[in-house]
Amino acid sequence: MSDSMRSASRPQDSGSAASKAPGPGSRDVVPPKSAQPGSAATGRAPLDLPSSDPQQPGATHPGPARGDATHPRAAPPDVARVELVPFTAAHLPGAQRLSQAAGWPHREADWALTLSVSRGVAAMQDGQVVGTGLCAHLGPVAALNMIIVETGLRGAGLGRRLMAALLKLAEGRSCRLVATEMGLPLYRRFGFVETGRILKCSGTARAATPERPVVAAGSAKVAALAAADRAATGLSRADLLAGIAARGTLLETEGGIALLRRFGTGYVVGPLLARSDAAARALLSEAARRRAGADLRIDMPLPQAEALVAHATTLGLHPADGTGIAMARAPLPADEPSALSSPGLRAYALVSQALG
C-alpha cells in the first residue's frame, strides 16, 4: 500500500488500489480490467492461477472500432509471463515502488505494518513486482487491500486474477474493501456491494486547544481500546492495535480514545472511537496540537465525518474532493454491529482505508 499526504483538492485514495487512478497518493489508480478468476495459495506453495486471462467484458482500448484497417485497435498488454506468488517481506521494496508510482503516500514501513496482519500475492514479471494484493484476517471479516496493477499492464485481466487470489485467501470470511468510482465495475463483478462512504481530510496541522482534557495513555489501555474497537466495528485486531500503539501515541479523553502514528510523509489519526462528537473533536484537536506544522490525515466514515469535517478544517485538515466507497461481499456476520447501532463508542476514524 506511497505518497505525499494529499491536499484537499486531490482525489481520495483508498486501501484498494485496483480502484485508483494515477495521481495523488490519495488515490485513484485506474481499476485493472478483469480476467477469469483463478485460485490462490494460502501458504508458501505456488499459487495455481492461469498465467493470462481474457479481457474483461465491455472493456475498451484507445483507437477506432474493430475492423478499421487504417487504425487498428491497440492490443491489450501482454500478461502471459506474469506469475502470482505468495507475498513476502522480500516483495516490500518493489511493492512500495509500485504504490509510489501510483501516487500513494505509503512508506515501506506502512506496507510492513499492513503485511504484519495480512497474507497476499505479488504479481511478478521478469523479477519485478508488477501487481499486489493483500488480505487481512480480522476475526470474521477479511479486509482486501493494497490491490495495485502496474500502469502498462492494466486492461488484460491482471486485476481480476489478483481479486480471485485474494478471495481464496479470505477463506470464506465476509470481505470488505474501500474502492473509488473507477473500481466499482471490477468489484461488483465479484459480488461486492456498497455499504458506505469514507471521507479523507488532510493537510498541515494547526495547533488548537482541545475543548476537554486529553492525555497520552499507557500500554495498559490497549486492551480496552481493542475491546471498544471490536464492539464498534466488528473487527478483531488486538495485535494490530498493540503494534500501532507501540510505535505511536495512544490518546484518551473522557468518552473517547484514539491512536496517532507515522504514515507516509506525516501522521495519521485512527482509529478514533468516541461516545460523542465533543470527545471526538477533543481527540482530533490534541492530535493536531501534538503534530502542528506536520502533515496530518484522518479517514472518517459517513455520517460520523459530518460531525467532524468543519472542525478538521479549522485544524488545517481539508476534505478530499471525492469519497472512498466502502464495499462488502457476502452477508456480514450476525454479531457484527454497525458503528451507528453500537451502544458504546462509535468509530469516527478508521485505522486506515486498507484495514478499516
Sequence-distant (≥ 6) Cβ neighbours of residue 127 within 8 angstroms: none
Q: How far apart are CA 294 and CA 234, in angstroms?
A: 32
Domain spanning 200-349 has what CATH number?
3.40.630.90
Q: How far apart are CA 290 and CA 31, in angstroms?
A: 37
Cβ burial 272-288 (10 Å sphere, 16+ → b, else e): bbbbbbbbbbbbbbbbb
Q: How far apart are CA 123 and CA 282, in angstroms?
A: 43
Report the half-sphere exposure of 94 (CA within 13 A, side-chain side).
20
- Per residue in 44-71, pLDDT tens? 333 333 322 322 222 222 233 333 444 4
Per-residue pLDDT at 343: 55
- Per residue in 160-183, pLDDT tens? 999 999 999 999 999 999 997 878
Per-residue pLDDT at 213: 96
Q: How far is CA 233 from CA 138, 229, 349, 350, 355, in A?
A: 10, 6, 11, 10, 11
- Please determine, for residue 1, whether its predicted confidence score (pLDDT) is greater than 70: no
Do 301 and 328 form a contact (C-beta atoms < 8 A)? no
Q: Which residue has the higher pLDDT, 180 or 260?
A: 260
Categorize the per-residue pLDDT at 80 as very low, low, confident or very high, splitting at 50, 70 and 90. confident
Do 207 and 284 form a contact (C-beta atoms < 8 A)? no
Per-residue pLDDT at 75: 56
Per-residue pLDDT at 77: 73
Per-residue pLDDT at 74: 55
Note whether 17-56+80-195 and 200-349 share their fold: yes
DSSP string, 192-213: -EEEEEEEEEEEE------SS-
Q: How far is CA 342 from CA 86, 228, 338, 356, in A?
A: 37, 10, 6, 16
Q: How far apart are CA 257 and CA 229, in angstroms?
A: 10
Do 318 and 8 form a contact (C-beta atoms < 8 A)? yes
In the numeric block, the cell 501534538 is attached to 290
Q: Which of 182-191, 282-291, 293-302 has the lowest mean pLDDT?
A: 182-191
What is the domain partition of the chain in residue ranges? 17-56+80-195, 200-349
Please state the CATH superfamily assignment of the domain spanning residues 17-56+80-195 in this structure.
Answer: Gcn5-related N-acetyltransferase (GNAT) (3.40.630.30)
At 241, phi and psi to the nearest 5?
-65, -35
Q: How far apart are CA 72 and CA 224, in angstroms?
A: 62
3-state helix, strand, coil in the chain (%, to 5): 30, 25, 45
Per-residue pLDDT at 344: 81
Residue type, 310: A
- Please determine, for residue 13, whether its predicted confidence score (pLDDT) is greater than 60: no
- Global pTM reads 0.77
